[in-house]
Amino acid sequence: MLTLYYAKGSSALAPHILLEEVGADYAVHEVPIAHGAHHEASFLEINPKARVPALMTPNGVITENPAILTYIAATHPQAQMLPDTPFARAGADALNAYLCATVHVAFAHLQRGARWTDSEEAQAAMKAKVAGNMAECAAMIEAHYLTGPWAMGDRYTICDAYLFLVPRWMAKAGVDLADYPKLEAHHNAMLERTATLAVMAIHGI
């Protein structure tokens, strides 16, 4: 049995959608980060980094979206959520690394500037850069990562559940999805999937 620790509307949407897609036997445990629940001792035992998502597995806890997504796919091989060839697999890893280390971090400067500076002036300056940085990330994904119709081509993979977060981050940053037709088509396709809709209902979005 797997347990996903999640906050509503957070990046935990990605593994949550994938758990639904693969038909996993799983439970969820809500960690309302808006109320500081991620800093409580009971959750710090699960993830000392005080972040969601975290996935409890029979072997222990996994954190970090790319690792969680890969684990879910690898433990549900019948769902074929990982690309077949070493080159395509590396491409999926590259996209997920970009989403985790660059795009998510660029977005975090909107509301989480205190991670990097105590100066309110510097935080405001960082916020002012978010729309431009997110637009750059969207352009990069549109031109170099998103093959179409799915992230890695004809087949839905772990990358698609993760990519679903990007238009949500763009909207919060004030970047217009309509300027990125491939990303917009991908988002619309995601919104037609039963798994996406079921998870969105749980997250109340």
Instruction: Single out the residue of 34, 74, 112, 205 in contact with ligand GSH (rule: CB under 6 A).
Output: 112
Shortest distance, position 20 Cβ to ligand GSH, whole Å: 18
Question: Toward ligand GSH, which CB reaches closer, 74 or 185?
Answer: 74
Is 33 near ligand GSH (CB under 6 A)? Answer: yes
Subset of 54-73 contacting ligand GSH (CB under 6 A): 64-65
Stretch that binds ligand GSH, among 50-58, 80-88, 137-145, 178-186 (CB under 6 A): 50-58
- Residues 133-172 vs ligand GSH: string with x where CB under 6 A? ----------------------------------------
Per the DSSP assignment, residues forming a β-bridge with 4 are 28, 55
DSSP track, 68-135: HHHHHHHT-GGG--S-SSHHHHHHHHHHHHHIIIIIHHHHHHHH-GGGT-S-HHHHHHHHHHHHHHHH
Does 51 bind ligand GSH (CB under 6 A)? Our answer is yes
Applying CB under 6 A, among 10, 123, 157, 196 the residue interacting with ligand GSH is 10
Q: Which of 68, 76, 72 minimizes the C-alpha distance to 99? A: 68
- Residue 141 CA neighbour count, 13 Å, CB half: 36
Strands 54-57 and 26-30: unpaired
Out of 5, 11, 72, 159, name the contact with ligand GSH by CB under 6 A. 11
- Closest CB to ligand GSH among 10 and 123? 10
The CA-atom distances, in angstroms, between 98 and each of 93, 101, 175 are 9, 5, 18
Inter-residue contact 55 to 2 (CB < 8 Å): yes
**Which one of 44-52, 87-95, 129-137, 189-197 is the stretch in contact with ligand GSH (CB under 6 A)?**
44-52
- Given a contact cutoff of 8 angstroms between Cβ atoms, the answer to whether 15 and 26 are in contact is no
Q: Of 34 and 122, which has the nearer Cβ to ligand GSH?
A: 34
DSSP-based three-state secondary structure for 54: strand
Query: Which residues of the shown chain bind ligand GSH in the complex (CB under 6 A)?
Result: 10-11, 33, 38, 50-53, 64-65, 100, 104, 112
